[in-house]
Amino acid sequence: MRYIILFIFLLSELTISGQTWHGLLYENNVSPTSISGIATDMNGDIWIATESNGAYRYNGTGLVQISGLQSNQCRAITSDSYGRIWIGSNLGLICWNNGVMTSYNTQTGMQSQNVYSLCAGANGAVWIGTAAGLIRFDGNSFTLYNTANGLPSNIIRTVSFDGTNIWAGSLYGLSKFDGSSFQNYSIANGLPANNIRSVFCVSPNEVWIGTNNGAALFNGSGFQILNHTNGLLSDTVLSFAKDAGGNTWFCTPTAITRMNGSVFTHFTEIYYDISIDQFTEPVCIHASGDDVFIGTNNDCVKIKRWMVKNPKSTFLQTDSISTFITNTGALLAIDYPDILGLEF
């Protein structure tokens, strides 16, 4: 088992903070696979959807593969306030309810079983982004919304709930549904692009939109744009998360970026691609308390944030560290100065 700890010394406050990184599939001897979605249930367990190996449940110590899925090609996953887990695949929708699996597809009333995205809405409803439009399932019946109802496209790539409205993204723009009608947004309304990759709702006045031309923050009245010119390393934004400390996380193909107010911290592959090549391309991100989970093209990486105040030690006389000691006692050189790494 191998962990990497990154230390940042804040000498003025005598505080040490950092993160530990865990490759969950790698550490549990699970074959590498691309991660398509991550969710947290009511007990704090983490659920992981994969592109080829089905879904897993992580309880903090180990992974359990979920049996009874209609397909191992899982594309989306979400949890609701009733303790249920919803999984979308290329063959329909699955509901996990206290160990009982129920499958839904076109034979049970779904207008399309080609699921791309999911989110839990009000009153126990689940919203499903499909190739035929946006579907609402209330537990008994499926209601389809498509271009005939005002959507700019029937292919819904991402969906999120802000506590009041449902937001849906497609190749042709962003849509907000208030329960009766759709309001559409595009470049003409201030978006950086119409190609919507992700939507992440914190509240009706904090909605993050990822596109192939930067991120947009909807504040209730307009859009604020973030891209490579003002904080991000990449303009393609695949996913968002917000941790318990109020940090906003951006997932891009080339880096993970953490935003704390106006301060941006970038994590690129030199931080986590140490020897097993397990964290080469981030594809999604999810926060659960202080823990952040990053789905990549071959693993789910857990970041644990920690902080030690007033450590009982003297501070270093240099801020340029180029070696670290492994658990075998070897002294290794590293290519990134200003960071002290301890491997154990």
Q: What is the pTM of this model?
A: 0.84
Say if residues 290 and 244 touch (Cβ distance below 8 Å).
yes
Pick the closest to residue 220 from 156, 173, 165, 263 (CA basis). 165
Residue for token pair 């200003």: 338
Residue identified by tokens 């501070």 is 315
Q: 177 has which bridge partners?
A: 166, 182
Q: Is residue 208 part of a domain?
A: yes
Does pLDDT of 322 surpass 50? Answer: no
Does a structural domain hold residue 6?
no
Give the closest residue to 16 by CA, choosing from 267, 320, 306.
Answer: 306
Is there a domain that residue 294 lies in? no
In this structure, the number of other CB atoms found within 10 A of the CB of residue 334 comes to 14
Residue 332 reports pLDDT greater than 70: no
Contacts 24+ apart (CB under 8 A), 337-344: 339/6, 339/7, 339/8, 340/6, 340/7, 340/9, 340/316, 341/4, 341/5, 341/6, 341/7, 342/4, 342/5, 342/7, 343/2, 343/3, 343/4, 343/5, 343/274, 344/3, 344/5
Q: Give CA–CA dist 127/202, Å, rounded.
A: 17
Q: For position 338, what pLDDT does the model report?
A: 38
Question: In whole angstroms, what separates CA 97 from the centre of its chain?
Answer: 23
Quick: pLDDT tens for 94-131.
999 999 999 999 999 999 999 999 999 999 999 999 99
Rounded-to-integer distance, Cα 121 and Cα 138, Å: 9
Query: Does residue 4 sit within a domain?
Result: no
Share of the chain above pLDDT 70, in %: 79
Number of domains into which the chain is organized: 1
Of 137 and 313, the structure prediction assigns the larger pLDDT to: 137
pLDDT for the residue numbered 7: 39
Structure confidence at residue 18 (pLDDT): 56
Average pLDDT over the chain reads 85
193 within domain boundaries: yes
pLDDT, residue 100, reads 96
User: Does residue 306 sit within a domain?
Assistant: no
Q: Is the pLDDT of residue 337 over 50?
A: no
In this predicted structure, which of 31-40, 44-53, 104-113, 296-305 has the lowest mean pLDDT? Answer: 296-305
pLDDT(327) > 70: no
42-70 per-position pLDDT tens digit: 999 999 999 999 999 999 989 999 999 99
**Domain annotation covers residue 22:** no
pLDDT higher at 104 or 11: 104
What's the pLDDT score for residue 201? 99
Q: Please tell me what DSSP assigns to residue 155.
A: -
- In angstroms, the CA 331 to CA 314 distance is 22
Res 19: pLDDT: 63
> What 3-state DSSP class applies to 15?
strand
The pLDDT, as a whole number, for residue 281 is: 86
Predicted local confidence at residue 305, as pLDDT: 60
**Secondary structure of residue 122 in the 3-state scheme:** helix
Q: Which residue has the higher pLDDT, 333 or 58?
A: 58
In a domain, 336, yes or no: no
Tokens of residue 25, six digits: 């599939």
* CATH classification of the domain holding 261: 2.130.10.10
HSE toward the beta carbon, residue 229, CA cutoff 13 A: 4
> Where in the sequence is the domain holding 233, given as residue range(s)?
32-282
Predicted pLDDT of residue 15: 41
